[in-house]
Amino acid sequence: MSDSVTKIYIPRDTTALAMGADRLAREIAAEAANRGETVEIIRNGSRGLFWLEPLVEVDTTAGRVAYGPVECKDIDSLFDQSFLLGENTHPLCQGLTEEIPYLKKQQRLTFARAGLTDPVSLDDYQQLDGFNGLKKALQIDGQAIVDEVKTSGLRGRGGAAFPTGIKWQTVLNANPGETGQKYIVCNADEGDSGTFADRMVMEADPYMLIEGMTIAGLAVGADQGYIYLRSEYPVAHQILNEAIAKAEHAGFLGTNILGSGKTFNLEVRLGAKAYICGEETSLLESLEGKRGMVRAKPPLPAIVGLFGQPTIVNNVLSLAAIPYILSNGGQAYADYGMGRSLGTLPFQLAGNIKQGGLIELAFGVTLRELLEEYGGGTFTGRPMRAVQVGGPLCAYLPESQWDTPMDYEAFQAIGAGLGHGGIVVFDDTVDMSEQARFSMEFCVAESCGKCTPCRIGSTRGVEVIDRIRNNENRAENMELLSDLCETMIDGSLCAMGGMTPFPVQSAVKYFPDDFDRQTQNSEGGA
Amino acid sequence: MTAVNEQMLPVVSEVISGLQHKPGALLPILHEIQNRLGYIPPESVPLIAEALNQSRADIHGVISFYHQFRTTAPGRHTVEVCRAEACQSMGARQLEAYAKATLGVDYHGTTSDQNITLEEVYCLGNCACSPSVRINDEIVGRVTPEKFDQLIDELRSQPLEVH
Ligand SMILES: Cc1cc2nc3c(=O)[nH]c(=O)nc-3n(C[C@H](O)[C@H](O)[C@H](O)COP(=O)(O)O)c2cc1C
Ligand code: SF4
Ligand code: FES
């Protein structure tokens, strides 16, 4: 029995919870009480080493010692083997958390605090440089803030990679008319499969997003912000609301921020299960209380945005990079990366992968390094066959392309995209004609319906692929599919219809056998 | 049926008057009605339309655009199976088929005991520990058919609320 308090960290992140973290926390508390040990359980965010979740960390004099993935059945043996002292005898012990290679090799700028802290503790946040960027921003004028963002080279992390500094400059210069109103909108719709970095920011370090949005408001003269959050993220919703209330109470948000006389109000708004509402103009329509129909551009949202007023729409990761940029200087951020892809990208390893999780690194790392060195191969132990990078509107990459450096231009050169940095791995049991069919099916379900090639074309796409899969007039139908893809690319207003063909075309191009049942049968039928 | 809906209208009015002042109030209003009542009773459409000074067709158009909003009562619990790519790579297609077969319903259907409504979802952000399922507000990872059965058993064995 010891009389000092041992701190135990058990994440409250969605994935940790999905792997049983709540029950684990309750049972560890109960067992500690049973054994007369005094412990304090802190519900931190995740480090993003998701294959180890729930990852339990014990604070020791040597640092935080990690155990994972911990299940309730392990609790007894952990206590028996003195895990409260950080003993390394238990098979689940991973040693010092910071020394786990997966984490140690990363370049964490945006995710520097993720998993370290209680996400809603303002003290924790401030002890680790929190609000330094905001304090800096309060001392300089809007143009100087925008200049710092330009220097950073930051490009929008939501998918289109548009330079953030230029977008902010446009809103700064835009005339807001009589009302004088401008808005900051955070795109937290994170609809791409295989992506969870936005969610992690909101669940592990929400004040960083709040700080980034407040700085954006100061930069362009906007006093109202909205976070448009997908309703599929109930944990993020709760944590954001907790954090906003606390930040307001402590004077970091609301009127007279830190005594500066400046105002910035923030509200979370929920989406309602519509992928297209991640597209920025559709998102604005939704925020205005309408159907999420895509608007034609121009005018840009920067000039005519929410309720017709100049509006910054930025992805969570773009806004989350801002506090670092302000507090360390734009150049410090620009020193990472390659070519015109500067700074870091939080890559997200998902799907059939042994060590799935979040890996923040400077642009330029190759896909293969991520898959092999970090991912450690597939979860099923079978060979990898196809990797979809950048979400459901981006290409499937065959092994011959895995040595491409992760850089916007390098990916564009091979007809692929980085999107939001999501990487989804498939093993050799995947049927790529089924994946191609799904891309079309997803477009049928999620098209806003405004243009014919997208709305009708995707339905035809499903039908054509079905005929190919049934071996009906295969040659003619393959040609029809190719024409249809071209029509969707050329005739769609937004990237939903305009990019849905990319995964389809890549499947056809790199995995042709999967579209030919005869080949499959003659190969596999022996 | 109509009588039941009419009992709900005071709740609808309360929600509307609490939220109608917000800019772009419609989605918050619809969410709150569905949170409180489980669905959006068709009788609430004229009330919302009047409060927001919009046509009934406008309100109906918004409700029908979003996959989340429903105009009929769901079961006591909602079970959503993720159908997106990361989950597919870990067997979501088989899991979907299993869920439909064991519950005896298709997507958007409710079991005959009114206990469970099955829905599809495209990504819960748990893609590193897929396949994923959401049960009400709880997300569960690495769901095998056995684990699915266990989760459903837990829902079925929960004591029914007294209405
Ligand atoms: C169909 C479609 C879906 C999109 N979904 C998202 C999304 O979920 N999150 C996001 O940040 N951007 C999404 N985008 C990109 C946005 O339109 C927009 O480029 C982005 O929010 C701008 O922010 P950024 O400059 O910080 O990247 C989507 C675009 C399209 C065409
Ligand atoms: S391409 Fe599709 S989603 Fe985009 S505007 Fe046209 S119909 Fe809407
Ligand atoms: S794809 Fe299923 S949780 Fe993301």
* Fold topology of A122-333: Rossmann fold (3.40.50)
pLDDT of A378 reads 98
A351 touches chain B (CB under 8 A): yes
For A317, phi and psi rounded to 5 degrees?
-65, -35
Q: Whose CA is nearest to atom 4 of ligand 2?
A: A494
Contact B56, B63 (CB under 8 A): no
**Domain ranges across chain A:** 5-104, 122-333, 336-427, 432-516
Q: Which of A202, A273, A279 to mutate to test the pocket of ligand 1 (most atoms within 8 A of CB)?
A: A279
Mean pLDDT taken over chain A: 96
Atom of ligand 2 nearest to the CA of A455: 7
d(CA A217, CA A264): 7
Give per-residue pLDDT as tens, A400-452.
999 999 999 999 999 999 999 999 999 999 999 999 999 999 999 999 999 99
Atom of ligand 1 nearest to the CA of A294: 31
| Cβ distance of B85 and A424 shorter than 8 Å | yes
Over 90: is that where the pLDDT of A245 sits?
yes
Measuring from each residue's beta carbon to the nearest atom of ligand 2, which residues come in under 6 Å? Answer: A 276, 294, 447-451, 454-455, 492-494, 496-498
CA distances from A179 to A281, A288, A309, B68 (A): 21, 17, 9, 34
pLDDT of the residue at A520: 62
CATH numeric code, A5-104: 3.40.30.10
Residue B88's nearest CA partner among A431, A73, A389 is A431
pLDDT digits (tens, 9 = 90+) for A156-182: 999 999 999 999 999 999 999 999 999
Regarding an ipTM greater than 0.90, the answer is yes
pLDDT for res B158 = 75
Q: What is the 3-state secondary structure (H, E, C) of B103-155?
A: HCCCCCCECCCCCEEEEEECCCCCHHHCCCEEECCEEECCCCHHHHHHHHHHH
Which fold would CATH assign to domain A336-427? Ubiquitin-like (UB roll) (3.10.20)
In the predicted model, what is the mean pLDDT of residues A258-283?
A: 98
Write the pLDDT tens digit of every residue in B117-152: 999 999 999 999 999 999 999 999 999 999 999 999
Share of chain B above pLDDT 90, in %: 91
Distance A297 CA to ligand 1 centre (A): 14
Which DSSP category does A373 fall into? I
Instruction: Name the closest residue on chain A to residue B87, using Cα atoms.
Output: A351
Nearest to A53 among B86, B129, B139 (CB): B129
- C-alpha–C-alpha distance, residues A473 and A42, integer Å: 62
CB within 8 Å of A94: residues ≥ 6 apart? A52, A55, A65, A66, A67, A68, A100
For residue B141, how far is its CA from the centre of ligand 3 (angstroms)? 9
Q: pLDDT > 90: what percent of chain A?
A: 97
Contact A444, A392 (CB under 8 A): no
Q: What is the mean pLDDT of residues A133-153?
A: 98
Residue B61 DSSP SS3: helix
Q: How far is B141 from chain A (nearest CA, A)?
A: 5
pLDDT of residue A82: 96
Burial class (CB in 10 A: 0-12, 13-18, 19+), A14: buried
> What residues 46-105 of chain B have any CB closer than 8 A to a CB of chain A?
52, 61-62, 65-69, 84-90, 93
CATH hierarchy code of domain A432-516? 1.20.1440.230
What are the pLDDT digits (tens) for A209-230?
Answer: 999 999 999 999 999 999 999 9
Sign of the alpha-carbon dihedral angle for A101, A104, A106, A108: positive
Ligand nearest to the CA of B81: 3
All residues of chain A having their beta carbon less than 8 Å from the beta carbon of residue B31 are 231, 270, 272
CA dist list (Å): A494 to A459, B4, B7, B135: 17, 43, 44, 33
Q: Per-residue confidence at B7, pLDDT binned at 50, 70, 90? A: confident
State CA A506 to chain mean position distance: 24
Q: State the amino acid at position B152 in one-letter form.
A: I
- Determine the residue of A14, A193, A233 to mutate for testing ligand 3's pocket, defined as the one with the most ligand atoms within 8 A of the Cβ atom: A193
Closest among A237, A213, A431, A179 to A312, alpha carbons compared: A213
